[in-house]
Structure formats: structure tokens, C-alpha cells
């Protein structure tokens, strides 16, 4: 499907690897001029090089979304260099596992600083400009863990639930200004973050088949999502094909949340 994105300018956070990298590739393949942002500068350089070598229009920006001043500077630089931002994809995220009674203050703060406050920082900076122009679209990548409890993932799930609520509220505030705001909530996706959660073959099996001990049903479609599966959903919501869709949460999890 031609999403008619060619010539648009998009910012993708967390673009150095995983879902963020896939979103950057997918948007660029559809003709978007991509500003790829990530806190991991070394990895970002490699990712951007691979994309530019493939003939895609991508510029790298080392950025820690926790730093609001740095976010403002980066968005200003992107608009000065690439043009007005039409698309924002909030994908930067971190995971800290642990039961609530064992979770440290630092882990809790880190997860919310990136997954929630980071979304606020970047969305605010971009939304101000989009609202003034009367157009634009923002897509936040959250998680099905934001709607279904997961053992050992209370901080992550809470941070993602907060980012969902924030994005929907932003969409309500900006609707009359012509700006759409939506969410994509992936389930288990073949990324370094997921592999880092697995300790052995049993962990991988339980992801697909479920675990009675963890009160988890598994994935009805019997497969993991690929980063591109998620990126395609982001690209659709960012396009005019979804021109009458706002404040929506699109779950891309193979049925793992049972439609929750």
C-alpha cells in the first residue's frame, strides 16, 4: 500500500536498534526524510550509515529524551535542517525487571524518565510546532503490558500505561488544531530488549506458549512480532490513510492481551 508519505519529515526516537530502528527504516522506505534520534551515539552512527548506504534520507541526532533542553535544541535543529516536522514516532524506551517489593528507586525513576517523561518532552516540543502549523501526527509506541498486568514488569507497565494516557489526552487537546495522536502497543517482539529478558530456552517457550505460574496465556498467533510488524502499524497511523483516526491504541501482539 502506498501510504503517500514521500517528502514528509519525521523524527523517530530510539532509532538505533529494535523497533525504533525498524520504524526509521520503514518511514524512510516510504520516502520520509527521517531524523533518527537515540542516546546511544555509537550504535546510532552504524544504523544511520546502513540506511544512508541503502539510499535512504536519514540524519542522525544523538539525543537523551530525558533532557528537555536537549530535546528543544534537537527539534529546532531538525526543523532548520530538514524542514517542518510532519511525523513524530516516540519509540525510545527502557526496561527494568523486578518485583515491586524488590525494585529500586533508581530503576523506577529510570523507567519513567525515559518511557513517560521522555515522551512528554519530545511530544511537547514537536506538538507546539505542529499546532501552530495546523497539521501533523504523533505516534507513541507503548506496550500491551500497559493494559495487562505482567509479573516483574510493574514499573515498565505503569510507565507505558502513563504514556498511553498522555498521548490520548494530547490528541484530544490537539484535535481542533489538525494534529492526530495515536498509540501502537506491541506485545513480545523479536528485539534485543526481549532477548535480554530470556534466561534459557524455557523462557523463550513460555513467551509463545504461556506460563500458568506467571498467569500469562502466551501468544494465540503462535509467533513473535517482528520489529517491522510494529513499524508498519506506526507508518499506517502516521499516514493520511489513517486521516480520521486519533486517540486510538492499536495493539500489535498476536492476541496476547486478548484484545484488552
Residues with a known catalytic role: 156
244 Cβ contact partners less than 8 Å away, ≥ 6 residues apart = none
Q: SS in 3 state form for 42-86?
A: HHHHHHHHHHHHCCCCEEEEECCCCCHHHHHHHHHHHHHHCCCCC
Q: Are 29 and 231 in contact (CB under 8 A)?
A: no
Residue 1: burial class (beta carbons within 10 Å; 0-12, 13-18, 19+):
exposed
φ/ψ of residue 34, rounded to 5: -100, 130
CA distance 146 to 157: 4
The region that residue 31 occupies, defined by phi over 0 for left and psi between -120 and 50 for alpha, beta otherwise, is left
Amino acid at each position: 500500500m502506498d501510504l503517500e508519505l514521500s517528502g514528509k519529515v519525521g523524527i523517530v526516537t530510539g532509532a538505533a536498534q529494535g523497533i525504533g530502528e525498524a520504524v526509521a527504516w520503514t518511514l524512510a522506505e516510504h520516502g520520509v526524510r527521517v531524523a533518527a534520534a537515540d542516546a546511544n551515539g555509537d550504535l546510532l552512527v552504524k544504523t544511520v550509515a546502513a540506511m544512508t548506504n541503502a539510499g535512504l534520507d536519514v540524519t542522525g541526532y544523538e539525543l537523551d529524551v530525558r533532557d528537555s533542553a536537549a530535546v528543544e535544541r534537537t527539534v529546532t535543529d531538525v526543523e532548520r535542517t530538514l524542514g517542518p516536522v510532519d511525523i513524530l514516532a516516540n519509540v525510545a524506551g527502557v526496561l527494568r525487571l523486578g518485583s515491586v517489593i524488590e525494585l529500586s528507586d533508581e530503576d523506577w525513576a529510570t523507567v519513567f524518565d525515559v518511557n513517560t517523561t521522555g515522551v512528554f518532552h519530545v511530544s511537547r516540543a514537536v506538538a507546539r510546532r505542529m499546532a501552530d502549523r495546523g497539521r501533523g501526527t504523533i505516534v507513541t509506541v507503548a506496550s500491551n503490558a500497559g493494559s495487562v498486568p505482567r509479573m516483574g514488569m510493574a514499573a515498565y507497565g505503569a510507565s507505558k500505561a502513563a504514556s498511553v494516557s498522555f498521548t490520548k489526552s494530547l490528541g484530544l487537546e490537539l484535535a481542533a488544531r489538525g494534529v492526530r495522536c495515536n498509540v501502537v502497543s506491541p506485545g513480545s517482539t523479536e528485539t534485543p530488549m526481549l532477548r535480554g529478558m530470556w534466561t534459557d530456552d524455557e523462557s523463550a517457550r513460555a513467551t509463545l506458549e504461556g506460563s500458568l505460574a506467571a498467569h500469562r496465556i502466551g501468544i494465540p498467533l503462535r509467533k513473535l512480532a517482528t520489529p517491522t510488524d510494529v513499524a508498519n502499524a506506526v507508518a499506517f497511523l502516521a499516514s493520511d490513510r489513517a486521516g480520521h483516526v486519533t486517540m486510538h491504541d492499536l495493539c500489535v501482539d498476536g492476541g496476547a492481551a486478548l484484545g484488552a
